[in-house]
Structure 1
Amino acid sequence: MPDLNALIGRAASVLAYLPWWAESLIVIVACCAVVMPLHGVAYRALKRAVASKSLFWRSLVSRTHGPSRLGLIVVAISIASTTVHLSWEVRIALNQILLVAFVTLTGWCCATALHIATVIYLRRFKLDAEDNLLARKHFTQMRILERAAVTLVGLITVSVALMTFEPVRQYGVSLLASAGAAGLILGLAMQPVLSNLVAGIQIAITQPIRIEDAVIVENEWGWVEEITSTYVVVRLWDWRRLVLPLTYFIQKPFQNWTRDGASLIGSVFLYVDHRAPVAQMREKLSEIAAATPLWDGKVVNLQVSDAKESTMEVRMLVSARNAPQAWDLRCVIREAMITWLQAEHPEALPRHRTEWVGSEEPGLRRADGQRIAA
């Protein structure tokens, strides 16, 4: 078996005849080839170590497999760069690239940890539950705060990466010292972005809207589907999407049907003749509501809300568990009541009356002049 020292000496003599860049490339590739299996062994050992830990640590280790491997490669290249013959300029540039890469990987891991913590926290809440008010509250808060935190992590990461460049740091200091007007112009230019960020924080704290809230905005009815750091996506009833800036929900009025709860009272209006049996209609409304599972069993009422010269306005109130069921219940009540009136009380349907005044009604005449009896 050949001597190991002899092999190393022979390899060093071969590398001595190569250009500096080829020598550096071979050494860096060799270090990376050694690091990869080491990372695999260390990663498997770490997974076994956190197997009994909480879900957060298990997920964090699983999700940071790629960043940790890249970080170990960065460390290996940094160590290898000290053993090869590089010019001063190349060594400085390589160290700068490695430092920026390490800062970026750190920010990446922090953003991943924030996302994992948010997902684990929200797993205890179900948006598809019947009474999902608490779930919508926490989903809205955590999603907005997560985006704000990730944005902050990104800004800090970029700032730290730029601070590693000496020329950029000097320019930043000089601009900070003499950029009063420039700062004012920049602030004015970023006013829409900053106002939306502030509005997002206000929405997360005060919560005028939440995820899956039923709202009416711009005369359109739908549900809040997504709240980002700058805009809100409303899923309309016909599957269209209405995109509005965050400031809209701070500065303009809108209707929120599920602000304090999902239950709603739906109203149904009918216009009937004055001879309509109101008492029987009230009993029939209770019967129809009790026969449908859409009614939550809380509110059912019928009142004559107005009377005009030819019709009566009858208002029926029924309650449901949420907005879609309230809409369907209103349609069921309207159809069933009209069908019942047509079958049982046709005289209650609205009609127009005409009365002839005088001793001789003009009546209608045929073509030969004979009068047609009314």
Structure 2
Amino acid sequence: MLAFLPLDFLPEALRPWFVLAVAMVLAIVVALVIHRIGFLILRRITAPRPYLHAVVVGACTASQFVVALLALRVVLTGTPEDMPYTRGMSYFVTVLLILCVTWLANSSIKSLSDAAIRLNPYDVADNLLARRKLTQTRVLARSAHAIVLLLGLSFVLLTLPGARQLGASLLASAGVAGLVAGIAARPVLGNFIAGLQIAFSQPIRIDDVLIVNGEWGRVEEITGTFVVVRIWDERRMIVPLQWFIENPFENWTHRTASLLGTVFLWLDFSVPLEPVRKEFERLCKASPLWDTRVAAVQVTDTSDRAMQVRFLISAANSGNAFELRCLVREGLIAFIAAHHAEGLPRIRANVEGESTNPPPPRVVPV
């Protein structure tokens, strides 16, 4: 190896190490040059394809370490077997190579997920498809990161002779033997499997509006073990992933964000409904919160004292529906108070057995 080098100035014991060091440096330089050329070519080829381009750019640093360590591994493979310490160096380089390959895989996953999130913004009006892709990307990316880390650690342990049994056990836990170990780790595995179910079946997505245990909130984050629900008053509810698989809940934006809202008023029987209906329609048309789909007035119930009138309205999302309900309620109460003050519920009573004549004067003896 590198026999053309003049080594007469070195002691006999140092000459193999000098040759090895020069070979390793040259191998790293050649590997990095090839990597640079390949990176420039791939970056140009994948420019029209945003996902592949993001992976190529995001994995550049990690791939540099991988090719450099591969070059070192090739050089160490060609060293004489009787050369001391090279076996330990080979093990060390192999472990570093496995760790860098794990880093490369995680960098590729992260770049791919970031590109998917960037190319599908969900801060738009019609964001159902974007939220579906965002949820799948985040959940699957976290699961992939965990699997890659587990495999990387397992292969590192398999490389070391003293820890080979432990590495084999870790690999087995990722396969069929994991079902046995899963009895003890049921909550962890249950949440992991629930995360995969949520990613594919998608009962919830990022930014979905939910009713969980009577609380209204939006899905703020989906992690590998729990869901963060941002409640309307800025509190955060932490719910395990498995809960959404095993319990019923309301999802107001599962198919579409548009909703129907209702306003109920109890009115006296003497209130004419036609003027109230016209005022209701005027309030809806005057508000930009109304999406023009539904505006209806119906008497839905009666009692011995009043009638219940339901005002049905539609809005593009739950926030607009709530604001529109409040606006319509305030406007109708003001209209009825101004034009039909007697129309609010009253209690009628007839008192019998009392005479309207004044009582006779009382005679007091002197």
TM-score tier (shorter) = 0.7 to 0.9
Look up the SS of the partner of 1:131 in the other structure.
coil
TM-score scaled by length of structure 2? 0.81
Measured after TM superposition, the shift of residue 210 of structure 1 is 1.4
Name the count of aligned residue pairs. Answer: 348
Measured after TM superposition, the shift of residue 255 of structure 1 is 0.5
Alpha carbons 2:120, 2:130 under 8 Å: kept? yes
Most deviating of 309-318 and 252-261: 309-318
Alpha carbons 2:158, 2:165 under 8 Å: kept? no
Question: Equivalences for 1:25-174 in 2 at 5 Å?
Answer: 35=28, 39=32, 42=34, 44-54=36-46, 55-75=50-70, 78=73, 79=75, 88=84, 90-170=85-165
Q: Which residue of 1 aligns with 2:188?
A: 193
Give the root-mean-square deviation of aligned CA atoms: 3.7
Measured after TM superposition, the shift of residue 204 of structure 1 is 2.0
Q: Which residue of 2 aligns with 1:358?
A: 353
TM-score scaled by length of structure 1? 0.79
Percent of aligned pairs sharing the same letter:
36
Runs of 5+ consecutive residues of structure 1 not aligned to the other structure: 364-368, 370-374
Match of 1:215 among 202, 210, 229: 210
Match of 1:295 among 290, 294, 302: 290
Q: Which residue of 1 aligns with 2:220?
A: 225
Measured after TM superposition, the shift of residue 119 of structure 1 is 3.5
Alpha carbons 2:289, 2:321 under 8 Å: kept? yes
Alpha carbons 2:43, 2:56 under 8 Å: kept? no
Alpha carbons 1:28, 1:77 under 8 Å: kept? no
Measured after TM superposition, the shift of residue 30 of structure 1 is 10
Most deviating of 66-75 and 96-105: 66-75
Look up the SS of the partner of 2:182 in the other structure.
helix
Q: Which residue of 2 aligns with 1:241?
A: 236
> Which one-letter code corresponds to 1:302 in the other structure?
V
Post-superposition Cα deviations, 1:42-67, rounded to whole Å, max 9, x if no partner, equal 55534432342223444334323332
Look up the SS of the partner of 1:156 in the other structure.
helix
> Which one-letter code corresponds to 2:330 in the other structure?
E
Measured after TM superposition, the shift of residue 360 of structure 1 is 2.5
Look up the SS of the partner of 1:250 in the other structure.
helix
Post-superposition Cα deviations, 1:201-239, rounded to whole Å, max 9, x if no partner, equal 222222211121110001111111222222111111122
Question: Equivalences for 1:325-364 in 2 at 5 Å?
Answer: 325-360=320-355
CA distance in 2, matches of 1:171, 1:138: 38
Runs of 5+ consecutive residues of structure 2 not aligned to the other structure: none
> Which one-letter code corresponds to 2:205 in the other structure?
R
Look up the SS of the partner of 1:211 in the other structure.
coil
Alignment CA distance shift 1:176-1:196 (3 Å)? closer
Most deviating of 58-67 and 77-86: 77-86
